[in-house]
Amino acid sequence: MHRPTPGRRDATGGGRRGDAGQVTVEFLGMVPLILLTLVLLWQFVLVGYTFTLAGNAADEAARAGAVGDDCAAAASADLPAAWRSGAAVGCGESGGLVTATVTLTVPVLFPGAVSFPFDVTGDAAAVSEEPPQ
């Protein structure tokens, strides 16, 4: 008759349980790290999206200013409401070049809630298409 070694499983499944359930314990230990990683990735996506919005809004503002339209209105026209409320738009013209600067706040996790204490700036320029006065 074959006797199983204590602490080890034999082919019939008898003996002590050994490390059964260890994977569950390790997974539960890793859940906070996995969630933290997902939150950080989401936050980086929001920062990148804010940079994209700022650059696009500045482009739109410069194009509008180049043809004599309202620069600030063009900059905020396509911005989502969560970013529009904290947007600062600056437009200027010198030497036949219309410049636009759009500054947006970066939201923390959810747009429209809390913002980081730093801003993202997008700059653009376009040649003025209006005749000189």
- pLDDT one-digit tens code per residue, 69-84: 888 888 888 888 888 8
Please tell me the predicted confidence (pLDDT) of residue 129. Answer: 79
Asked if residue 120 belongs to a domain, the reply is yes
Is 70 exceeded by the pLDDT of residue 61?
A: yes
Please tell me the predicted confidence (pLDDT) of residue 105. Answer: 85
Asked if residue 83 belongs to a domain, the reply is yes
Asked if residue 122 belongs to a domain, the reply is yes
Residue range(s) defining the domain that contains residue 26: 22-127
Asked if residue 2 belongs to a domain, the reply is no
Q: Is the pTM of this model over 0.75?
A: no
Asked if residue 113 belongs to a domain, the reply is yes
Asked if residue 11 belongs to a domain, the reply is no
Asked if residue 8 belongs to a domain, the reply is no
Distance in angstroms (rounded) separating the CA atoms of residues 106 and 36: 19
> Alpha carbon 6 to chain centroid distance?
54
Q: Which of 16-25, 52-61, 89-98 has the highest mean pLDDT?
A: 52-61
Please tell me the predicted confidence (pLDDT) of residue 77. Answer: 87
Q: Which residues are within 8 A (CB) of 123 and not within 5 positions of it... i.e. 6 or more apart? A: 58, 99, 100, 101, 102
Asked if residue 31 belongs to a domain, the reply is yes
Distance in angstroms (rounded) separating the CA atoms of residues 102 and 2: 79
Count of the separate structural domains present in the chain: 1
Distance in angstroms (rounded) separating the CA atoms of residues 87 and 57: 10
Q: How confident is the model at residue 33 (pLDDT cuts 50, 70, 90)?
A: very high
What percentage of the chain reaches a pLDDT higher than 70? 83
